[in-house]
Amino acid sequence: MKSVGIDAVEIWAGKLKLDLPETFAPEKDEDPDKYRKGLGLVNSSFPDTYEDIVTMGANAAKRLMDRKGLKPDDIGRIDVATESAFDNSKPVSTYIAGCLEQVYDEDFHHANKGERKFACIAGTQSIDDAYNWIKAGRNRGRSAIVVATDTALYARGSSGEATQGAGAVALLITEDPSMVELSTEQGYGSADETDFLKPNQQFPSVDGKRSMQVYLARMREAVEDFESVAWDMHPEDLEYIPFHTPFPGMVRKAGLLGYRHMIRDTEIEDELAGEIGRQPREGEYEDWDTYEDAIRDYMDKLKQTDMYQSWYAETIEPTLGLAREVGNWYTGSVHVARASALKHAAEEDIDLTGEQMLVGSYGSGAQAEIHAETVQEGWKEEIEQLTIDEQLAARYDLDFDEYEQVHDVHNHDMTVDVEEFTIPNGEFVFAGIGRMNERKYEYVE
Ligand code: HMG
C-alpha cells in the first residue's frame, strides 16, 4: 500500500491585523473579554490593498516550491480551495500558476488545475483529490500542490464581523510524505443546510448561532461514521485533534462533545462517575427534552473536571495558537490548526513520530469530514521552516478607521483609493484589471 499524505506546508498571512479586544470591541461597545475569553480571538489578519486570494496563494505556493527545491515539472496538479473566488468560470489555480510562471523558467501547461468549492471544507476535499490521484497511480511520479486561500470578510455590522481573517495555506501532497500520512478511512456528516451561504454575493448570509449547532451536529455524524470504518476512539489514542476553527470558542464546544463521546463506556467514565455521575443514557429518560437537559448538565460538570481540562490543554489547546492571532481563514483554517499543533510540539520538543492525530474538517452548507493522520519522521524539520511567527510580528496594526478602509478596498462593489499600509518585498502583488476584466498580477523583487 502506498503511503500518501502531506509532505510540506507553507502559510501566508494577510499583512494587516485588527486587534479585536483593543480596537474592534470598544468601537462596537463590547467587552474585550468577549474576544479574549468567549470567542478566543486576539487579532484577525487582513490583506493589504495589493493582496488578494491569488497573491496570498501564489506567495505561499512559491515559498513551498523554493523551500522544497521544486520546479514546475515536478508538479502534476494545482488545486485551489476557496470560497472567495471572483470568477465563475476561470479557476483561481490558473491565476496562481500564471503568477508562478512569471518567476520560474518552466511552465505548468502539463498540470491539471481546478477549484474546489464547499465552504471551508474544500481545502480538505482538494487534499482528497490529490490523495486519490496519487493512490490511483495517475500522477506519473509528480506531486500535487493544494492551495487553500480566502479573504473571509463579513458585511460590516453582521454578527460574523467579529470572526474575519485572511490568508493562504499551501500544501504539498506526495507519496512517502515527510510530515503526515493520511488514513484511508474517512467519516462524513453531510446535510442540506442553510446556516451560512453566499448566493452570488460576496459577503455571507449567516445565521451565526444556528451555524454553530450545525457544525456540532455534522461533526458528530462524521465521528460516528469514521468509527464505523476505523476504530472506537479513546482520548489516549490521539496526540492532537485539529478542528476547523472559525474561532477557538467553537472548537472548545467541539472538543467537549468529542471527549464525552470518546469516554463513554470506558474506564475514564467510571473514574469520573464518583465526581460527576455517569453519562445520561437516552433510554433512562421519558422524553428527548429531559434527556437533553441531563446531557447539558453532565457536560457542564465534565468540563470542570481536572481530567477533562488536562486532556483539553494537551490535545486541543495547541491547535488554537495561530487561530487566536489570525481569525477564520475558511478553507485554510483546519490546516492552520494542524500546523499550529505541530509547531507547538516542535517548540516543546515533543517526539511525535508515529503518533496519531484526528483531523475534523467542516464546511457550512454543510459537511464535516473526519480522518486520522500518522505523523512521519520528517515532521519537525518541515514545521520548523515556517516563518509564520515573523509574519505575524511584522503585520501593520490597523486603527478602526483604517480597518473600515481596508474592508471597503476588498469589497467587490466598491471602488476606493487607499494607500498601501506595507511595502511589498519579494512577492506577488495585484497589478490592476485587464481588458477582459481579468485580474492582473506581477512579482515585486
Ligand atoms: P456573537 O453574538 O457575536 O457573540 O455571536 P456571543 O454573544 O454569542 O458571544 C460569543 C461567546 O463569548 C459566548 O460564549 C459568550 O458567552 C462569550 P458561549 O456562551 O457560546 O460559550 N462572551 C464572553 N465571555 C467572557 N467574557 C465576556 C463575554 N461576552 C461574551 N465579557 C457568533 C458569535 C459565532 C454567532 C458570531 O461571531 C458569528 O455569527 N460568526 C460567524 C459564523 C461562525 O463563525 N459560525 C461558526 C460555525 S459555522 C463554521 O465554522 C463555518 C464557517 O467557517 C464558514 C464556512 O464553512 O465557510 C463560518
Domain boundaries along the sequence of the chain: 4-444
Portion of the chain with pLDDT greater than 70, in percent:
100
- Whole-number Å distance, alpha carbon 39 to ligand 1 midpoint, is 6
Mean per-residue pLDDT over the chain, rounded: 98
- Whole-number Å distance, alpha carbon 250 to ligand 1 midpoint, is 7
pLDDT at 113: 98
Q: How far is CA 351 from the centre of its chain?
A: 24
Fold of 4-444: Peroxisomal Thiolase; Chain A, domain 1 (3.40.47)
Confirm or reject: Cβ of 208 under 6 Å from ligand 1: yes
Element (H, E) at 32: helix 32-33
pLDDT at 427: 98
- Closest ligand 1 atom to 196 CA: 54
Residue reference for cell 500544501: 171
C-alpha distances in Å from residue 139, one per residue of 4, 86, 112, 316, 404: 12, 29, 10, 35, 45
Averaged pLDDT, 419-427:
98
Which three cell numbers, joined as nine digits, stand for 169?
Answer: 495555506
**Residue numbers annotated as active site:** 83, 120, 244
| Confidence check: pLDDT of 7 > 90 | yes
pLDDT in tens, 346-403: 999 999 999 999 999 999 999 999 999 999 999 999 999 999 999 999 999 999 999 9
Can you list the positions of beta strands (E) in 378-418? 396-397
Q: Quote the CA–CA distance of 164 and 167 in Å, as a whole number.
A: 11
Site to substitute for ligand 1 among 125, 211, 243, most atoms within 8 A of C-beta: 211
With cut-offs at 50, 70 and 90, classify the pLDDT of residue 120.
Answer: very high
List the end-to-end C-alpha distance of the chain, in Å, as a whole number.
44
- The tally of CA atoms less than 13 A away on the side-chain side of residue 81 is 30
Confirm or reject: Cβ of 31 under 6 Å from ligand 1: yes
| Confidence check: pLDDT of 291 > 90 | yes
For atom 12 of ligand 1, the residue with the nearest CA is: 38
- Whole-number Å distance, alpha carbon 270 to ligand 1 midpoint, is 33
Confirm or reject: Cβ of 300 under 6 Å from ligand 1: no
- Whole-number Å distance, alpha carbon 30 to ligand 1 midpoint, is 13
pLDDT at 299: 97
Q: Helix, strand, or coil here: 439? A: strand
Which three cell numbers, joined as nine digits, stand for 328?
Answer: 477564520
Averaged pLDDT, 34-52:
98
Averaged pLDDT, 403-421:
97
Confirm or reject: Cβ of 120 under 6 Å from ligand 1: yes
pLDDT at 1: 82
For atom 28 of ligand 1, the residue with the nearest CA is: 34
Q: Which residues of 16-36 are buried (b: 16+ CB within 10 A; e: fewer)?
A: bbbbbbebbbeeeeeebebbb
- Closest ligand 1 atom to 331 CA: 57
Q: Helix, strand, or coil here: 358? A: strand
Which three cell numbers, joined as nine digits, stand for 361?
Answer: 474538517
Q: Helix, strand, or coil here: 57? A: helix
Q: What is the dihedral of CA 174, 167, 350, 242, to 10 degrees?
A: -80
Q: Residue 274: what residue type?
A: G
Contact assessment for residue 3 and residue 177, using Cβ atoms and an 8 Å cutoff:
yes
For atom 37 of ligand 1, the residue with the nearest CA is: 160
For atom 14 of ligand 1, the residue with the nearest CA is: 38
pLDDT at 100: 98
Residue reference for cell 476505523: 230
Element (H, E) at 76: strand 75-81
Phi, psi of 110 (to 5 degrees): -80, -10
